[in-house]
Amino acid sequence: MPQDQQVFANQDQCFFFLASLRVWACSSVSKMINLFKIKGQKKEEAASAAGKAPVKKQSAGELRLHKDISELNLPKTTSISFPNGKDDLMNFEIIIRPDEGYYMGGTFIFTFQVSPSYPHEPPKVKCKTKVYHPNIDLEGNVCLNILREDWKPVLNINTVIYGLNLLFTQPNDEDPLNHEAAVVLRDNPKMFEANVKRAMAGGYVGQNYFPRCA
């Protein structure tokens, strides 16, 4: 065979080899993907047969919350707990023990419920501890601007916790939920202080009874 024909024959063989290799590679990748899918399905079936719920993907809100909690920089007056265990990050409690101001010596527990759409909407925060406070009503609703109109997705759980701490060191009579307490704070701070101490020790302020929290 002439040399130039031999070169063309070798080239044809080479192209055929490369084409075959490409088909084989694509086929192998496809088989591997299918194998992973089958393995995943079998794992889910096994979990279902064992009575276990299959592991679900975390939502964007859960991933962001996980990041926020891992980066928490809590004040010394504050701690966090997970009543449902650490598998349920979307529901937790913040415990605040103020070391200054009217509420010094008290223990106040707040529940946080975080939706999957976090941080595009703020966490729902309620005070479990019945407290005499101008910015927290007797049902535990909290008046904090960053939990309402001033919330932005760039804010985080740490921001909310610092805001709650600020409510105890600087209660605000201008944006109240408990209007009675706000009026007393504004007009007679000494009486307000006496009312707070009575409520924290466990007693009545007006018609309302407050369980001991100090």
Tell me which residues are annotated as active site.
Answer: 143
Residue spans of alpha helices (H) in 94-156: none
Amino acid letter for position 57: K
189 upstream amide cis, omega within 30 of 0: no
CB 140 within 8 A of CB 127: yes
3-state DSSP call for residue 7?
A: helix
CA-CA distance, 135 to 178, in Å (whole number)? 6
CA-CA distance, 209 to 162, in Å (whole number)? 28
Bridge partners of residue 108, in order along the sequence: 96
**End-to-end CA separation in angstroms for the chain:** 103
CB 189 within 8 A of CB 151: no
